């Protein structure tokens, strides 16, 4: 399991760094609501791709 930071999310999604932080925060909230432990400013790569409807490379 790889954890992505805002710079990596920014590059993957081709968005600004502030937008990457907003996306990470939203995904972490979803995970927290499901009972998962999260780390502020990072998101699991698998979950990011799952929510995007794709697969990890």
* Distances in whole angstroms, Cα of residue 54 to Cα of each of 28, 37, 39, 49: 18, 23, 23, 5
Confidence label for 56 from pLDDT (cuts 50, 70 and 90) = low
The C-alpha atoms of residue 41 and residue 45 are separated, in whole angstroms, by 13
Do 52 and 14 contact (CB within 8 A), yes or no?
no
* Distances in whole angstroms, Cα of residue 2 to Cα of each of 13, 48: 16, 11
pLDDT one-digit tens code per residue, 6-33: 999 999 999 999 999 999 999 999 999 9
Residues 32-57 have a mean pLDDT of 92
């Amino acid at each position: 399991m790889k954890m992505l930071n805002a710079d990596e999310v920014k590059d993957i999604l081709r968005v600004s760094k502030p937008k990457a932080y907003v996306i990470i925060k939203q995904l972490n909230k979803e995970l927290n609501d499901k009972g998962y432990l999260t780390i502020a400013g990072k998101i699991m790569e698998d979950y990011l791709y799952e929510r995007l409807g794709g697969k990890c490379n």
